Amino acid sequence: MTVSYPAVLVIAVLGTGVTVVAYVRLQRRRTAALAAAGLDGSGPGGSGRGGSGRGSSRRAAVRRHLPYALLLAALPLLLVGLARPEATVTVPRIAGTVVLVFDASNSMQADDLEPTRLAAAQEAATSFVEDQPDSVDIGVVVFGDQALMTQEPTDDRNLALAAIKRVGGTGGTSLGQAILASLSTITGKPVNVPEGNTAAPAPDLGYWPSATIVLFSDGENTGGADVQAAADLAATAGVRIQTVGVGTAQGGTVEVDGYQLATALDEQQLESIAKTTGGSYHRAEDTDGLAETTRSIDLRLTSKEEPLELTAPVAAAALVLLVAGALLMTRWHGRIV
């Protein structure tokens, strides 16, 4: 525990000590005066040898001293309260960095989710952002054949929402590149996996347990960086990936260069990514279900040490002692002195 005004504690100790000494000396003079007057109970008719007399004497001593003891105990508490004591407590909270990753490939234009898979993902992500506390920084990455950070992590919800609204694109799908771009966004440095030489050491990204990637995709991967290697890299860095399946198992069609192409949700790929990193896969087959799915995404709890001022509880304890002492003194002595 710390205090804002340490000098007040010195005053509290000295003041309490002086008050206690003064009270003890006052009681001794009072006892001596009573003895001189023959009213201390030691003479004829006093407590004598009887047990009841000793019990009566003890009760009298309690009545005489207890109210003053309560009032004296309140004094240092009041002074300590003036010193503004603080304690450091650990407070759990949802905090950290969340990177929302959007598949903007051709297949995301399919209409098995209305109006399209991509539009449904944008709507669900918007609801997700609006539900997060200010302690969560949110970034946005968009990917197709390649991946691009469109908004670095920020606590400004308007910037994150504007980045989600701008999401759009065409081309193939590289889930591996999406994961690498997200890790670059989290760590602040370029992240790649070794190509062609499996014996090459993986890059050291440090450890980021408060970071989460939320990947919106239909799971259809058409090339680019190795997905499993990228997921393993995220797991090593302590970054959990939550995957959200956008689309239906029945699938839909999308027009590309005048051709109608069939596309369906690949849940196995998304489940594998999530499992590798300790995250979970979230499935939704309609627009409303997708929006509800984002509410079940589990972000990590972190803890933060925060100062807690104890002035109020200390003052309350002093007040209780003052009131108790005053009531007892009034009841037993008919006065408050």
pLDDT digits (tens, 9 = 90+) for 274-314: 999 999 999 877 777 777 778 778 776 566 667 778 888 88
The Cα angle at residue 287 between residues 282 and 293, in degrees rounded to 5: 25
Nearest to 248 by CA among 126, 110, 101: 110
- Cβ atoms of 244 and 293 within 8 Å: the answer is yes
Residues 87 and 13: their CA atoms lie apart, in Å, by: 20
For residue 194, whether the previous peptide bond is cis, meaning omega lies within 30 degrees of 0, is no
Model pLDDT, residue 38: 65
Q: Where are the alpha helices (DSSP H) in the chain?
A: 6-36, 51-82, 117-131, 157-165, 175-187, 227-236, 267-277, 287-294, 311-333
Token digits of residue 145: 């054949």
pLDDT band at 47 (very low <50, low <70, confident <90, very high): very low
Instruction: Provide the whole-model pTM.
Output: 0.65
Nearest to 324 by CA among 68, 23, 22: 68
Count CB atoms within 10 A of the CB of residue 193: 20
Residue 221 is which amino acid?
N
Model pLDDT, residue 200: 64
Greater model confidence, 172 or 239: 239
Residue 174 has pLDDT above 60, yes or no: yes
Taking CA atoms, 210 is separated from 125, 142, 177, 266, 299, in Å, by: 19, 21, 21, 28, 9
Model pLDDT, residue 314: 82
pLDDT band at 50 (very low <50, low <70, confident <90, very high): very low
- Cβ atoms of 248 and 285 within 8 Å: the answer is yes
Model pLDDT, residue 197: 53
In the sheet that 96-103 helps form, which strands lie side by side, from edge to edge? Answer: 147-154, 136-143, 96-103, 211-217, 240-246, 281-284
Query: Percent of the chain beyond pLDDT 90?
Result: 37
pLDDT band at 73 (very low <50, low <70, confident <90, very high): confident
Residues 85 and 256: their CA atoms lie apart, in Å, by: 68
Q: Whole-number mean pLDDT of the chain? A: 82
Residues 17 and 174: their CA atoms lie apart, in Å, by: 76
